[in-house]
Amino acid sequence: MRARTRTARQAVVLAAVASLGAGLLAGCADDGNGDSGGSSSSGGGGGKTTITLGLFGTMGFKEAGLYTEYEKLNPKIKIAENVIERNENYYPPLLNHLATNSGLQDVQAVEVANIAEIVSTQASKLTDLSKAPGVEAGTWLDWKWKQATTADGQTIGLGTDVGPMAICYRKDLFEQAGLPTDRDEVGKLWAGSWDKFVEVGQTFKKKAPAGTTFMDSPGGLLNAILGSESEKFYDASGEVIYKTNPAVKAGFDLTAKAATEGLVGNQTQFQPAWDTTIANSKFATISCPPWMLGTIKGKSKPESSGKWDVAVPPKAGNWGGTFLTVPKAGKNVAEATKLITWLTAPEQQAKLFSVQGNFPSTPAAYTLPEVTGAKNEMTGDAPIGTIFGEAAKAIPVQVIGPKDQIIMQGLSDNGVILVTKGKSAKEAWETATKTIDNNLEK
Amino acid sequence: MSARHDIAAPPAKEGGAAPARPPATKAPDADKRRRDRLSRRWQRDLRWSPYAFVSPFFLLFLAFGLFPLIYTAWASLHSVELTAPNDMEWVGLRNYTRLLDDEFFWNAAQNTLTIGIISTVPQLLMAMGLAHILNYKLRASTFYRVAMLAPYATSIAAASLVFVLLFGRDYGMINWALNAVGIDNIDWQNDKWPSQFAVSTIVIWRWTGYNTLIYLAAMQAIPQDLYESAALDGASRWRQFIHVTLPSLRPTILFTVVVSTIGATQLFGEPLLFDPNKGASGGPEHEFQTLGLYLYEQGWVNLHLGRASAIAWSMFLILIVIGVINYVISRRLRASS
């Protein structure tokens, strides 16, 4: 009897331990073959091929009904997506998966901030899409296509959306400050140079409503200025030149000047306090890719709707956007390539824009009714599709580098923001460059 | 006592205490074999099953503790990037020697120390006081004890988010209250001491209750007659606390000090989430960047795995030094008591 109870107890304990261990091991198993249906044609779905997409944030394919539509067009295909909320949590594991050739989805999204690093270090692991059936370079904006193309001509990512920056401005604040409110006249005020934009800020400040600034934040201004340069942090040969590039220093100093004179709010973008400055209408302009209208809408009080308008920027630049890549180690390379070719075609991009506000990277989409007829609640009846389309076509082919994001973040979060705290432009530049150099050193 | 029977009952060896068997007959023989078999099973069971019982921990420790530790040590001797983790270039101790004149590392070390002190010291003192109060007979004492532990059970992310709002410069509730008494807005996120104070507040809020309960448990284990005899000798409550409670709590205090020190050295989540929009730089001039945050920045933002591994090992060595100091102090304390 004793023995029986002992062994019984032992068995229970062992079973518990075994199931615990199995659970832990299962936790370690790569999610690529997890319960999302598996990628093999034999696995579930009644002989269907499941294509998996690894995405971050809200890319909107599902929300726009594109998966359902594709599955209807291709009855043998099932689509499953695996989404991680924030890119900073999505990107490092992606690098790990690429290095070990495991845990990869059939399609992996790459943010524009990381595309240069992927192009320069991971191209051998990704399918060259330039020769894929139905893919033509001319479909995409020239600069967008080139961002995902290696030096030897492989294109490893197809562009989904882009973020052409325009200037969103508050008509009511402009009027109170004695500035024109018509979007064409406003655009003419600063056409061609960021210096003029800052000068408009000085004019604004003279009669500005109490407590308001011309622009939202120093980081936003610097990002807009540097985004419109054809060469910023890297030169064409891939060398880091941010410290010696006169355009970068000029942009930094111009932003510092605007900060010293109080033309920009002393905020960091996307912090809760910055959100509140939107709600409380504390600034008159913001550098504004199409997706920023969504942010403004989300943070504003209802009485602000319709008070915004969109004007052409001094110089066009890009902020944001994504690519879809197909890892060679995936199980359904051919089908995955077909899928992303379809997903990134102008018609689908236009549909995505109308539902999710992601701006198309294919000029053919700019004449489709979804884009030309687009309106936003915040900007009244401004033809935003046409304005952003013009800006997108004016964006220069920019040299981008693998560490652009680290350098940009250093210049704004460890740099120009300090000027709003009373540091001189020189001190801010030194802190920024010291931080960036330390971050770049291997 | 019953446990002894498992070993003693079957006469496994000759010359045991058991009486000699009668000459072999069939039935007892079969019986003996059966009992031998059982006995061997018991012995094997007794000898090996403890190992089986502890093995899950050690297997998991091997996979998730020791292997990463050794791999990190190996990686720290190389220049290696997360973009190509298999492509390692031997650099010897360079990742360590560069830390010596890495001002960001020393800044982070200093921040870790100061945040550690301004969070741990008040935290433990408050915990001691609260435990003393909770040790009195109170109505609804369980409620107070559960309430004490509530912050500990809250996720850091949620708590930090709320604290970020409270400590906002322009629209925060704390600055609003300070304004009411005539103090200007404090830039809690961008100035050195305010930001360190704010981060420490999150730590204190989160861990005070935990330490309180540990102190309370130790206080309740102190024999009541010690207090009675102290009271008979005319000792006030305060003297009782100093001369009875504190000496009895010595090992517990040491335990909480060690655990809090380790926690403070590894402080990461609170400063990371205190300003998530500035990445992991811990403020524009690294005002509240701790060692843990610097490690994360180098490894997962800048993708320099080799450098990050070296920082990780340096932190490990610092912890060992702290552990040794703690050990020496505790031996001194024990010797003096």
Residue extents of the structural domains in chain A: 36-163+321-369, 164-318+387-440
Nearest-angstrom CA–CA distance, A282 and A208: 11
Asked if domains A36-163+321-369 and A164-318+387-440 share a fold, the reply is yes
Residues of A in contact with B175 (CB under 8 A): none
Q: Is A92 within 8 Å of B303 when comparing Cβ atoms?
A: yes
Q: Write the pLDDT tens digit of every residue in B173-231.
A: 999 999 999 888 899 988 999 999 999 999 999 999 999 999 999 999 999 899 899 98
pLDDT in the model for residue B335: 77
pLDDT in the model for residue A3: 43
Residues of B in contact with A413 (CB under 8 A): 277-279, 281, 284
pLDDT in the model for residue A10: 54
**pLDDT(B159) > 60:** yes
**Alpha helices, DSSP H, located in B183-232:** 192-220, 224-232
Q: The tokens 């009541």 sit on which residue? A: B224
Torsion sign over Cα A188, A191, A197, A202? negative
Q: Which residues are CB-contacts of A126 (< 8 A; sequence separation ≥ 6)?
A: A98, A118, A156, A157, A325, A326, A327, A328
B82 touching chain A per CB within 8 A: yes
Cα separation values, B138 from A307, B97, B144, B145, B215, Å: 60, 57, 9, 11, 17
Could you tell me how many CB contacts below 8 A there are between chain A and chain B?
Answer: 94
Cα separation values, A281 from A295, A341, B166, Å: 14, 42, 21
pLDDT in the model for residue A241: 94
pLDDT in the model for residue A220: 94
pLDDT in the model for residue A59: 85
**pLDDT(A16) > 60:** no
**pLDDT(B14) > 90:** no
A96 touching chain B per CB within 8 A: yes
Q: Is B60 within 8 Å of A272 when comparing Cβ atoms?
A: no
CB atoms within 10 A of CB A17: 15
Residue, of A25 and B104, whose pLDDT is higher: B104
Residues of B in contact with A88 (CB under 8 A): 300-301
A367 touching chain B per CB within 8 A: no
**pLDDT(A23) > 70:** no
Confidence of residue A271 (pLDDT cuts 50, 70, 90): confident
B170 min Cα distance to partner chain A (Å)? 7
pLDDT in the model for residue A31: 45
Whole-structure pTM value:
0.83
Query: Shortest CA distance to B63 belongs to which of A26, A25, A15?
Result: A25
Type of residue found at A428: A
Mean pLDDT of A342-371: 91
Residues of B in contact with A277 (CB under 8 A): 170
pLDDT in the model for residue A44: 46
B48 min Cα distance to partner chain A (Å)? 12
Confidence of residue A9 (pLDDT cuts 50, 70, 90): low
Type of residue found at B288: F
Counting residues of chain B whose pLDDT is more than 90, the rounded percentage is 51
**pLDDT(A324) > 80:** yes
Q: Is A272 within 8 Å of B53 when comparing Cβ atoms?
A: no
**pLDDT(B3) > 60:** no
Q: Is B285 within 8 Å of A418 when comparing Cβ atoms?
A: yes
Average model confidence (pLDDT) for chain B? 87
B227 touching chain A per CB within 8 A: no
**pLDDT(A27) > 50:** no
A27-36, B275-284, B289-298: lowest mean pLDDT where? Answer: A27-36
pLDDT in the model for residue B195: 94
Report whether A345 contacts A362 (CB < 8 A).
yes
pLDDT in the model for residue B212: 94
Residues of A in contact with B285 (CB under 8 A): 414, 418, 431
**pLDDT(A400) > 80:** yes
Q: Measured between CB atoms, which of B84, B277, B281 is closest to A270?
A: B277
Residues of B in contact with A10 (CB under 8 A): 45, 49
As a dihedral over the C-alpha atoms of residue B163, residue B167, residue B170, residue B174, rounded to 10 degrees, the angle is 110
Residues of B in contact with A276 (CB under 8 A): 168, 170-171
Residues 44-63 of chain B whose Cβ lies under 8 A from any Cβ of chain A: 45, 49, 52-53, 56, 59-60
Residues of B in contact with A272 (CB under 8 A): 164-165, 168, 171
ipTM, two decimals, is 0.82
Counting residues of chain A whose pLDDT is more than 70, the rounded percentage is 90
Q: Is A92 within 8 Å of B300 when comparing Cβ atoms?
A: yes
Q: Is A438 within 8 Å of B102 when comparing Cβ atoms?
A: yes
Q: Is B83 within 8 Å of A95 when comparing Cβ atoms?
A: yes
A24 touching chain B per CB within 8 A: yes
Q: Measured between CB atoms, which of B49, B170, B300 is closest to A276?
A: B170
> Under CATH, to which class is A36-163+321-369 assigned?
alpha beta
Confidence of residue B6 (pLDDT cuts 50, 70, 90): very low
Residues of B in contact with A122 (CB under 8 A): 83
What backbone torsions phi and psi does residue B223 show, to the nearest 5 degrees? -60, 135
Q: Write the pLDDT tens digit of every residue in A327-343.
A: 999 989 999 999 999 99
Which two structure tokens, joined as six digits, stand for B171?
A: 């629209």
B168 touching chain A per CB within 8 A: yes
Query: Shortest CA distance to A286 belongs to which of A254, A243, A319?
Result: A319
A10 touching chain B per CB within 8 A: yes
CATH number of A164-318+387-440: 3.40.190.10
Q: Is A24 within 8 Å of B301 when comparing Cβ atoms?
A: no
Q: Is B79 within 8 Å of A442 when comparing Cβ atoms?
A: yes
Residues of B in contact with A85 (CB under 8 A): none
pLDDT in the model for residue B85: 83
Residues of B in contact with A99 (CB under 8 A): 83-86
A441 touching chain B per CB within 8 A: yes
A95 min Cα distance to partner chain B (Å)? 6
Q: Is B302 within 8 Å of A13 when comparing Cβ atoms?
A: no
Report the number of secondary-structure helices (H) and strands (E) in chain B.
Answer: 15, 2
Nearest-angstrom CA–CA distance, A89 and A93: 7
Q: Is B284 within 8 Å of A96 when comparing Cβ atoms?
A: no
A272 touching chain B per CB within 8 A: yes
Q: Write the pLDDT tens digit of every residue in A140-168.
A: 999 999 999 998 999 999 999 999 999 99
pLDDT in the model for residue A42: 41
Confidence of residue A105 (pLDDT cuts 50, 70, 90): very high
Q: Could you give all domains of chain B from N- to C-terminal order, each with its CATH number?
A: 107-336 (1.10.3720.10)
Q: Write the pLDDT tens digit of every residue in B30-67.
A: 888 888 888 888 888 888 888 988 999 999 999 999 99
Residues of A in contact with B281 (CB under 8 A): 409, 413-414, 435
Query: Shortest CA distance to A408 belongs to which of A224, A209, A282?
Result: A224
Q: Which residues are CB-contacts of A370 (< 8 A; sequence separation ≥ 6)?
A: A350, A351, A353, A354, A385
pLDDT in the model for residue B296: 94
